[in-house]
């Protein structure tokens, strides 16, 4: 399986404060829009095989990409809720660009051999892997251009729409977007599933600088309700019940040791993206819920 074809079954929720996902390297003082195509890989680690053990095997992939000076970069995030897993996110300008990247990797004998060896070691720690491909949905996104290099977490939400109920879903989304337009500082990026998930699956990414922003989100709920009004909240509830088949939200932390960031990202925050050997990683809660996205 190609490194960039392992997927996520991401979670879903309309969250205030969100943002964009991996983007092409640009001036972070003027954050770019999210990539048009997002390829997400998901790895489930065996009990006791996450943390430092998984970071060690993932470093083989990172070193292989560095030696090859590969132009395509990716971000790794690890679960703080649900089952123990890591997601690898890679953005492209088009499906054609994705194809060319995969083809170029296959033609590079040295890189291919290095990645094959890396997979052999990494596979010993994993219980399962899968892959998904998503397309940026501008209509369902709100202020999605965000300075991702200075973010530390993603809240990732997944909504699966009931067959034949796209109209109710669309009406509900329009109401949510209109209400959150009135709430300062809220933003998120939406992606529609193309491959690897049930039809009419939507993924929402909300980047956070710190966990304190989760507290902030809770307070913004009242602002959202005020913007919607009592009748609006009632109507939204009806539309949600009619259109949403399944939904889930989970929290992920960025892992710089398992990521292959661009030079621009490293320059933007070198202490985080180029951690010194032995430096403590981002702290994780000691206990996590048992089930996952």
pLDDT of residue 160: 97
Determine the Cα–Cα distance for residues 55 and 284; give it in Å rounded to an integer.
Answer: 15
Q: Is the pLDDT of residue 245 over 80?
A: yes
Q: In this predicted model, what pLDDT tens digit does every residue of 197-241 receive, in sequence order?
A: 999 999 999 999 999 998 888 778 889 999 999 999 999 999 999
| Average pLDDT rounded to a whole number, residues 229-255 | 97
C-beta of residue 283 within 8 angstroms of C-beta of residue 80: no
Residue 40 lies in a domain: yes
What the block records as the tokens of 288 is 């996590």
Beta strands in 30-125 (DSSP E): 37-45, 75-79, 85-92
Name the nearest CA neighbour of 41 among 173, 167, 172, 131: 131
pLDDT of residue 13: 29
Residue 210 lies in a domain: yes
Give the count of domains, the chain. Answer: 1
Residue 70 lies in a domain: yes
Residue 287 lies in a domain: no
Q: In this predicted model, what pLDDT tens digit does every residue of 142-197 receive, in sequence order?
A: 999 999 999 999 999 999 999 999 999 999 999 999 999 998 888 899 999 999 99
Residue 207 lies in a domain: yes
Determine the Cα–Cα distance for residues 59 and 54; give it in Å rounded to an integer.
Answer: 9
Q: Residue 100 sits in a domain of what CATH number?
A: 3.30.70.100
Determine the Cα–Cα distance for residues 127 and 124; give it in Å rounded to an integer.
Answer: 8
| φ, ψ at 111 (rounded to 5°) | -65, -45
Residue 290 lies in a domain: no
Q: Are strands 201-208 and 37-45 parallel, antiparallel or unpaired?
A: unpaired
Q: Are strands 37-45 and 126-136 parallel, antiparallel or unpaired?
A: antiparallel
When pLDDT is cut at 50, 70 and 90, the band that residue 6 belongs to is: very low
Determine the Cα–Cα distance for residues 133 and 10; give it in Å rounded to an integer.
Answer: 11
Helix, strand, coil fractions of the chain, as percent rounded to 5? 40, 25, 35
C-beta of residue 11 within 8 angstroms of C-beta of residue 57: no
Residue 293 lies in a domain: no
Residue 221 lies in a domain: yes
Residues above pLDDT 90, as percent of the chain: 77
| Average pLDDT rounded to a whole number, residues 106-122 | 97
The boundaries of the domain holding residue 43 are: 3-273
């Amino acid at each position: 399986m190609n490194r960039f074809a392992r997927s996520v079954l991401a979670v879903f929720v309309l969250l205030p404060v969100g943002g964009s996902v991996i983007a092409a390297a640009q001036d972070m003082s003027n954050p770019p829009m999210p990539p048009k195509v997002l390829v997400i890989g998901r790895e489930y680690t065996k009990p006791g095989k996450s943390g430092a053990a998984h970071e060690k095997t993932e470093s083989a992939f990172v070193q292989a990409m560095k030696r090859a000076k590969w132009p395509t970069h990716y971000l790794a995030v690890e679960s703080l809720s649900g089952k123990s897993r890591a997601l690898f996110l890679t953005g492209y300008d088009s499906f054609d660009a994705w194809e060319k990247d995969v083809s170029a990797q296959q033609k590079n004998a040295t890189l291919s051999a290095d990645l094959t060896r890396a997979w052999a070691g990494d596979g010993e720690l994993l219980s399962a892997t899968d892959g998904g491909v998503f397309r940026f949905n501008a209509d369902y996104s709100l202020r999605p251009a965000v300075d991702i290099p200075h973010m530390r977490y993603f809240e990732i939400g997944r909504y699966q729409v009931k067959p034949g109920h796209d109209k109710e879903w669309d009406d509900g989304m329009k109401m949510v977007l209109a209400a959150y337009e009135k709430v300062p500082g809220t933003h998120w990026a939406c992606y529609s599933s193309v491959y690897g998930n049930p039809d009419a699956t939507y993924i929402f990414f909300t980047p956070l600088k710190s966990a304190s922003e989760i507290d902030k989100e809770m307070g913004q709920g009242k602002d959202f309700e005020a913007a919607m009004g009592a009748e609006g909240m009632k109507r939204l509830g009806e539309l949600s019940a009619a259109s949403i088949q399944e939904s889930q939200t989970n929290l992920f932390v960025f892992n710089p040791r398992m990521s292959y960031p661009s030079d621009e990202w490293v320059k933007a925050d070198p202490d985080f993206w180029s951690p010194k050997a032995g430096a403590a990683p981002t702290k994780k809660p000691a206990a996590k819920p048992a089930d996952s996205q």
